[in-house]
Amino acid sequence: MPPERGPAGGAVQPARAHTSARRQLVGQHTQKAGLGFIQPPTPTAMRPIKTVIMSSLDGGVGKTTLASVLSVAKGYVLLIDADWEKADVSQLFRAPRKPGWLSPFIDGQKPYIHRVNPMLYVVPGYEAMELYQKYGEDVTGSFAEALLEWVEHLPRYVSSLRIPVDAVVIDTPAALNLNLLSKLQSMGVFILFMSDRRLISRISDVKAEHYRRYMAYASLVVVNMVEKDEVKIARKMAPVVLKRVKINEYYGESVAGAVLRDKENKKAVDTVITRIKTA
């Protein structure tokens, strides 16, 4: 059996490497960095939110695309770009290069909230991407710890913001560590697992076992980018199926529009939103 995958797809790093990475990441700000800036809201100000984690085993399955589509279609969403390998959400929605979700752990700065429209806001992830490009797998353990801390504090954080948000969608890299997924599941997070047509293709027993392990933590499984003649087969594997569509303009709201113009895709996205709301 292959080694367990790490938070961004690599092998799990030893605890010593994670400790070193943590020090490297936060530098001299260990004591003051983090989410301590979030003020506890009054009991009447606290409001329930749904937290959705986008997960996948493989890259290139359209995870970021669906995160964008869901956020646009549902509305009242705070979309956090925690895909430290690419930060595609930040770029799709033209978020400026300002402090993002990781900034409180680096230099103590509050994250910038990018307003896409009155019902959609984005927290960028450029710093995380730059650190990952510089240090690689050595920092992914620290990123995972920061992500867990964010999820824990999201209800307080959202309540402290004066924006109309009742759901948080978090985009992440492919192949998150299974221990991280287990912790997120125990925290009540809605884990949306995505695959593409590879899930319905002939795959090895080893690959099938990997899919099984990741899907075990999923609140919902979505198969994306299937061809029209594969839809029936895909629906036997997953409750939600999205067809491949042509996307001409790679801007968040344009991407969402291209996906949602297809009636079957629109129905599938509505199903996902309903499942999130009722979870």
Domain of 158, CATH number, reads 3.40.50.300
pLDDT attached to residue 15: 39
Whether 138 is in a domain gets the answer: yes
Give the tokens for residue 186: 């125990």
Three-state SS for the chain is CCCCECCCCCECCCHHHHHHHHHHHHHHHCCCCCCCCCCCCCCCCCCCCEEEEEEECCCCCCHHHHHHHHHHHHCCEEEEECCCCCCHHHHHCCCCCCCCCCHHHHCCCCCCCEEEECCEEEECCHHHHHHHHHHHHHHHHHHHHHHHHHHHHHHHHHHHCCCCCCEEEEECCCCCCHHHHHHHHHCCCEEEEEECHHHHCCCCHHHHHHHHHHHCCCCEEEEEEECHHHHHHHHHHCCEEEECCCCCCCCHHHHHHHHHCCHHHHHHHHHHHHHHHHC
155: containing domain: 48-278
Q: How many CB atoms lie within 10 A of CB 41?
A: 15
Whether 18 is in a domain gets the answer: no
pLDDT attached to residue 164: 93
Give the tokens for residue 11: 């092998």
pLDDT attached to residue 3: 39
Question: What is the phi-psi region of residue 188: left when phi exceeds 0, alpha when psi lies from -120 to 50, beta otherwise?
Answer: left
Whether 9 is in a domain gets the answer: no
Question: What residue ranges of the chain have pLDDT lower than 50?
Answer: 1-23, 26-32
Residues 163-215: tens digit of each pLDDT: 999 999 999 999 999 999 999 999 999 999 999 988 888 788 899 999 999 99
Whether 21 is in a domain gets the answer: no
Domain count along the chain: 1
Whether 30 is in a domain gets the answer: no
Whether 151 is in a domain gets the answer: yes
pLDDT attached to residue 6: 40
Whether 203 is in a domain gets the answer: yes
Whether 148 is in a domain gets the answer: yes
